[in-house]
Homo-oligomer: A and B are copies of this chain.
Amino acid sequence: MQKITLLIHCKDQKGIIAAVTSFIANLAGNITYIDQHVDRELNVFFMRLEFEISNLEIAFEVIKGDFEQNIASEFGMKWEMYNQDLKPRMALFVSKYDHCLFDILGRYSAGELNVEIPLIVSNHNDLRTIADRFDIPFHYVPFTKDSKEEGEKMQLELLERFQINFIVLARYMQIVTPKIIEKYTNKIINIHHSFLPAFQGAKPYHAAFKRGVKIIGATSHYVTEELDEGPIIEQDITRVSHIHSVEDFIMKGRDLERIVLARAIKLHAQRKTMVYNNRTVVFS
């Protein structure tokens, strides 16, 4: 059985659903999931399908070629097709904060994440012991302001060598360089410790405390060149009150960061997200 996920977006036109479902029917495929969305403002059509093909003799690459030739080109589609048996390969970028790293590696070990994690990259050595505990190779890539280019080169080399599909910044605390962002467009997930767009930039819990908010949040988003301005994947919040100090905000926030980042990783790994016009379509 070949299990396939298909993501499509294109200008909204008549006949798209019929064409795509017919294509799958012609392969004697069985659609197990179908959802679509039309952005009426921008007139863009989005679709996500999962289907199964029992005939193993039809090569996956052939299916892709046929789809491009017979369907996608006709409708001017941008599309991606995935073999569900191939787990996406995820790189973890960390710095000194350990709570998101523990959470992700715990979930990974418990079999909860549909990914491979071939490496952890860090500009500090602090979290190496955690990587060791979970038997994940840890790569120390230090850099200073002056050696950023060299660091970027090493990072790119690692990403390539380990055939990384997407990157997760688990409280990485560093700005990813434009070259990496360009190469991994909509494939780098960051967790920001505020309810974006409120409290962009550094020290959001301190800013939230100062403003006297009654609710704090966390936001996972794809990284773009504009800091904290990328497409939002998921957000969540928790209540605070006058009795809570900045330290309480930070501690409560850790739980938000963990859960909001984990949800984003799951959504991305299951190919449930699409990006358009700096917004996400998140199929459920």
Contacts and interface: CB of A to CB of B under 8 A. Distances in A.
A183 interface: no
A21 B17 contact: yes
B212 A234 contact: no
A50 to B, nearest CB: 12
A150 interface: no
A13 to B, nearest CB: 12
A197 B211 contact: yes
Contact of A109 (B35, B130, B212, B259): B130
Interface in A84-125: 98-99, 102-103, 105-107, 109-110, 112
Interface in A191-246: 195-199, 211-215, 217, 231-237, 239, 241-243, 245
A143 to B, nearest CB: 26
A243 to B, nearest CB: 6
A83 interface: no
A255 interface: yes
A123 to B, nearest CB: 19
A215 B235 contact: yes
Given A22-B18, A110-B99, A237-B237, A255 B259 contact: yes
A57 B214 CA distance: 42
A233 B215 CA distance: 11
A102 B106 contact: yes
A25 interface: yes
Contact of A134 (B17, B133, B197): B133
Given A195-B198, A242-B281, A106 B109 contact: no
The DSSP consensus for interface residues of chain A is: mixed
Contact of A197 (B98, B198, B231, B281): B198
A282 interface: yes
Contact of A14 (B25, B32, B235): B25
A212 B198 contact: no
Nearest to A236: B215
A238 B211 CA distance: 21
19 contacts: A14-B25, A17-B34, A18-B22, A35-B35, A40-B245, A99-B106, A99-B107, A99-B110, A102-B106, A105-B106, A133-B134, A195-B198, A195-B215, A196-B211, A213-B232, A215-B237, A237-B237, A242-B282, A255-B262
